[in-house]
Amino acid sequence: MSSTEPTTTILVYSDDRTTREQVRLAIGRRPAADLPKVEFVEVATPAVAMRTLDAGGIDIAVLDGEAVPAGGMGLARTIKEEIYNAPPVLVLIGRPQDAWLATWSRAEAVVSHPLDPIAVASAVAGLMRRRASDVTATS
């Protein structure tokens, strides 16, 4: 394996270690055959999530909308307002009926609990493709 193989860095924010693990397992090493391998950065607090995103190098953010004390939808909106060139965001919501809130949060994708591994991997793959085309378009 070449050390120059491209990777995508995914930030996973949740105060629940089990949720972070479910996201990692759903996405796996590569969410689709045509995409690069992924690396995960797991964070449990909104402050660490913001610091990590502000430092750069994150390609996709997966945020738990049910996290405490700050849910992923509010954090997504903050990221979009405060982080220059913010990465695409997937918000994990508690109920499918809350999907309209993702519009307010400015998240690009939403998946509801209980997490369906195929839906999570598909949403992340879509965000990775979108991010790659955005980067190509601005190059």
Read off the pLDDT of residues 102-135 as tens digits, 9 standing for 90 and up.
888 999 999 999 999 999 999 999 999 987 776 6
> Does 22 have pLDDT greater than 90?
yes
| Residue spans per domain, the chain | 7-138
E strand intervals along 1-139:
7-13, 37-43, 60-64, 89-93, 109-112
**pTM of this prediction?**
0.92
- Contact assessment for residue 108 and residue 62, using Cβ atoms and an 8 Å cutoff: no
59, 80, 116, 119, 139 from 122: Cα distances, Å: 16, 22, 10, 5, 26
Amino acid in the structure at residue 93? I
| Superfamily the domain 7-138 falls into | Response regulator (3.40.50.2300)
Amino acid in the structure at residue 13? Y
Read off the pLDDT of residues 64-87 as tens digits, 9 standing for 90 and up.
999 999 999 999 999 999 999 999
Q: How confident is the model at residue 3 (pLDDT cuts 50, 70, 90)?
A: low
Q: How confident is the model at residue 29 (pLDDT cuts 50, 70, 90)?
A: very high
- How much is the pLDDT for 1? 46
> Does 16 have pLDDT greater than 50?
yes
